[in-house]
């Protein structure tokens, strides 16, 4: 998949993309990431892209024109491309949405808003999904884009070693354990549930279902 990110802060993606499983996905060419900075598309000689809102109100608004040009550049001549606009008032992001992206799209454009938002006219020009990553307000869309990219990339085949979505549905449990078998903390012993040491996979699956 190719993620095209329209952002004023492309460098804010680098630390996560250079360390996580996403960095391996990039190396393995399972994903590709490109950045389009509205500042590079503004006609303003001071590269200014935010202005006061018409009608008054707090904060600044990201201007439409340079964002439109950045999206148009990302879109190029591609016909099938999903454009996602991040906003706390959007539809909640889910695993099902991530799965659909993986199944149906090769190119996904993320539009990361900032300040009080982006001039609403961009919604008239491009058909976009308005997506929220949770019931809280972030300072910008960059973290939201990383969340969607992460949850989507892990569903691409070959990104996570043993990944099998059915398996994930069937026996995933929130509780997992690893060495040591007996953890001692402040003289108290914490043991791994016996069933996990039993080697009986039927019982282990049943326990995991129960713990879901």
Interacting residues with ligand ADE (CB under 6 A): 86-88, 132-134, 136-138, 141, 144
Cα–chain center distance at 179: 31
| Closest distance to ligand ADE from the beta carbon of 145 (Å) | 8
Nearer to ligand ADE, 10 or 171 (CB): 10
Q: 115 and 60 in contact (C-beta within 8 Å)? A: yes
Nearer to ligand ADE, 53 or 88 (CB): 88
| Closest distance to ligand ADE from the beta carbon of 205 (Å) | 36
Nearer to ligand ADE, 120 or 182 (CB): 120
Nearer to ligand ADE, 114 or 208 (CB): 114
Nearer to ligand ADE, 62 or 133 (CB): 133
| Closest distance to ligand ADE from the beta carbon of 91 (Å) | 10
| Closest distance to ligand ADE from the beta carbon of 6 (Å) | 13
| Closest distance to ligand ADE from the beta carbon of 18 (Å) | 23
């Amino acid at each position: 998949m190719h993620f095209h990110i329209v952002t004023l802060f492309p460098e804010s993606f680098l630390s996560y993309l250079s360390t996580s499983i996403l960095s391996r996905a990039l190396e393995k060419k399972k994903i590709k990431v490109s950045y389009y900075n509205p500042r590079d598309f503004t006609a303003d000689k001071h590269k200014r892209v935010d202005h006061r809102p018409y009608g008054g109100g707090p904060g600044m608004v990201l201007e439409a024109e340079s964002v439109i040009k950045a999206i148009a550049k990302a879109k190029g001549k591609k016909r099938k491309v999903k454009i996602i606009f991040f906003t706390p008032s959007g539809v909640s992001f889910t695993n099902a949405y991530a799965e659909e992206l993986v199944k149906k799209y090769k190119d996904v454009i993320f539009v990361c808003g900032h300040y009080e938002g982006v001039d609403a006219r961009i919604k008239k020009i491009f058909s976009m999904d308005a997506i929220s990553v949770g019931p809280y307000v972030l300072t910008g869309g960059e973290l939201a884009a990383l969340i969607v990219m992460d949850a989507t990339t892990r569903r691409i085949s070959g990104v996570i070693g043993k990944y099998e979505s059915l398996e994930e549905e069937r026996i995933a449990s929130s509780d997992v354990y690893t060495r040591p078998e007996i953890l001692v903390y402040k003289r108290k012993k914490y043991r791994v549930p016996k069933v996990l040491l039993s080697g009986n996979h039927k019982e282990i699956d049943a326990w995991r279902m129960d713990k879901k």
